[in-house]
A = this chain, B = another copy of it.
Amino acid sequence: MIDFPYIKDIARKTPGKIVMLVVDGLGGLPLPETGQSELETASLPNLDALARRSAAGLTTPVATGITPGSGPGHTALFGYDPVKYLVGRGVLEALGLGVELADGDVAIRCNFCTVDDAGTITDRRAGRIPGEEAESLVDLLRQIEVPGVSLSLHASKGHRFVLVLSGEGLGTDVAETDPGTIGLPAIPAVALSDGSQRSAEAVGAFIAAARDLLSGQPAANMVLARGYSQVPDWPSMVDEYRLSPAAIAAYPMYRGLASVLGMEILSTGETFDVELDTLESAFDRHDFFFIHYKPADAAGEDGDFQAKVLALEELDAHIPRLLALGADALVVAGDHSTPAIAAAHTWHPVPLLVHSALTVGDGVPEFTERACAMGSIGRIPATGVMMLALANAGKLQRFGP
């Protein structure tokens, strides 16, 4: 289940508090011109000072060479094997939009696309149709009704939208209709096993109705469906770790993921400052806090080295507030690397700090990829981070007699 099979037996309830700060896209790579990464370039007096009083290491999010999406990157940090505990694309997209999914609902990631008169796909993304235009097409499709199943539609970015099926006896084992390439017709949404017959029929009926409604639309005249998924029934952090865990994240997707893992979602605002307000005011009520910092990833994805440096410096300025809470274990981790020179998530190991009463004197000179590589934690799978957090907070009993 969780990384260590006896975790439930050795986890114990204590008053100790854990704060896990996840810096999205934390890891970087050197600019060829300077040989220095974003963390090495940024001025981070508070994180560097913390690194000197912390245990440091590097985490491998999934496996060597494997670049994680945000889903696997986060589930791993909470101790769940990201290969085994994989959230479906439809659910993740729905969670990202803040859509509430009930047990049994099937969330489906859909694209607007274009087809020619013969039904052959000519553009799988309908020319990356602008958001406003897509929203009006989603509105148009809201009139579609399918007997026995409730449909709800949610516009996402550009050509993407989410279709949610609600009703009895819905499965997710339905053929994805996107052939993955142009020049082919869409694949029929047939059921791939018995329990998914109703879902397949509903998707088929929806697509047929959508094609009729979109016929003659200049921007997109067809839809493709994939990533059929349901909110998974995973072991909860409450039961596995004997925690009362809470999540503080500005973006819906991270809140959605956290709720799947059993965390209570604390309502918060858009900025890290407001997230810290939320943390301070809820600090007495929980013993584990996941707090999410997004701007480093966004800058990295944009390929903007200087913006990522600034995002890290802005984070650094907030570290004293985090330290002032006096958590028994403070973890600073990242879900994956997003080097500006790659302008994308990558597979590279991610810096990690764990600060507790047992780490003073154990430090590395600064909070960078290279310094953390020399730290006492070494290079570990990201699933080990949660174990270190629990252990440093005194929440894990000895294993075995």
Complex Cα–Cα for A339 and B339 (A): 38
**Closest CB-CB distance, A383 to chain B, in whole Å?**
8
A53 to chain B: closest residue by CB: B32
**Closest CB-CB distance, A56 to chain B, in whole Å?**
11
> Does A31 make an interface contact (CB < 8 A)?
yes
Complex Cα–Cα for A300 and B71 (A): 41
Residues of chain B within 8 A (CB-CB) of A268 are none
Would A360 and B30 be within 8 Å (CB), given that A369-B376, A400-B86, A401-B70 are in contact? yes
Can you list, as one digit per residue, whether each of A195-216 has a CB less than 8 Å from chain B (1) or not (0)? 0000000000000000000000
Of A122-130, A318-326, A342-350, which binds chain B? A342-350
Of A2-10, A112-120, A139-147, A283-291, which binds chain B? A2-10
Majority secondary structure, A binding face = loop
Contact B82 A360 (CB under 8 A): no
Contact A396 B362 (CB under 8 A): no
Contact A401 B35 (CB under 8 A): no
Contact A396 B3 (CB under 8 A): no
Residues of chain B within 8 A (CB-CB) of A227 are 401
Complex Cα–Cα for A394 and B384 (A): 28
Q: Please give me the 3 A-B residue pairs with the lowest Cβ-Cβ distance, nearest first.
A: A65-B387, A30-B361, A64-B384
Complex A-B: 9 CB contacts under 8 Å = A4-B83, A29-B361, A62-B400, A64-B380, A69-B398, A72-B400, A346-B391, A349-B376, A373-B376
